[in-house]
Amino acid sequence: MNRVVCAGHVNWDVTLHVDALPDPDGEAAITHQSQAGGGSASNTACALAGLGVEVPLLGSIGSDRYGTLVTEELQTVGVDCDPLVSVSGETTVKYIVVDDDGEVFVLANEGVNEAYEADDLPTETLAEADRLHLTSQDPATAMDLQQRAKRRSIPVSFDPGRRLGSRAFGDLIQDVDLLFLNEREADEVVDLLEGRQSPTVIKRGDGGAVFRDESRTISHEGFDVTARDTAGAGDAFAAGFLAARLRGRSVREALATANSCGALAVQSSGARVDLSWAAVERYCQTH
């Protein structure tokens, strides 16, 4: 079985669906609400586990009830939580507000989701990995993890997420073997992308996705889908692409798989989606 170590944020998400995003001093009606685990690394790990990949998860949680809930949920879907670090303090909680079009905005407390260090990942856990996948986290920690993997010739992928513009990720963007960005993020770092020699995958939402490297550009048009909640869709996309490539699928097939995972994610509430190869292949065949 393939093995991907995921590293980054592990949160607890409170999702509020509203009839409309209110103007300043306005009010909106909550039409549905739910709570579940979240965080980009955690979301990707769950999606990979559903696709049959072994996933040790490096991150940090607080010594509170949310930390317990997150860990229990992850273990239920098959994520290896042994590398998770529990520290004194509060698990990061994010409040995700979703409008009728499925678009989101996020409110968060500080929490402890960046309290871990690169050395918290056991050497043997990294050595047994086919890939290290980094998501949004402290840039210094991410660089340390990337260097540890590089010394062992383990490929590294990176999906920096919405905080890209406020964090010093420049070296990682240029050095990692595989980079995931959405269109807005790609526009923010266009100068850095010009210096990249390794592949970059641009996620375009309902417009599909594009893979680019030095010699080729490959695209997939995506699927026509009505979004219920876009939270976590990019994480599901990355998981689908990585899992497909680990199975030996072509880039074009991996893009189709990734877009299927993203489409399934936006049709479910919350940042997590229940993925399996059967569900992904059925979606590809019927859309």
Which residues participate in catalysis according to the annotation? 235
Selection from 135, 139, 170, 136 nearest residue 156 by Cα: 135
54 by Cβ neighbours in 10 Å (0-12 / 13-18 / 19+) ranks as: middle
d(CA 210, CA 56): 28
Distance CA(193)–CA(175), nearest Å, equals 10
**What is each CA distance from 234 to 107, 195, 209, 272, in whole angstroms?**
18, 24, 11, 11
| Residue 109, number of CB atoms within 10 A of its CB | 14
The alpha carbon of residue 190 and the mean position of all alpha carbons in its chain are separated, in whole angstroms, by 21
CA–CA gap between residue 91 and residue 28 (Å, rounded): 28
Under 8 Å between Cβ of 246 and 10: no
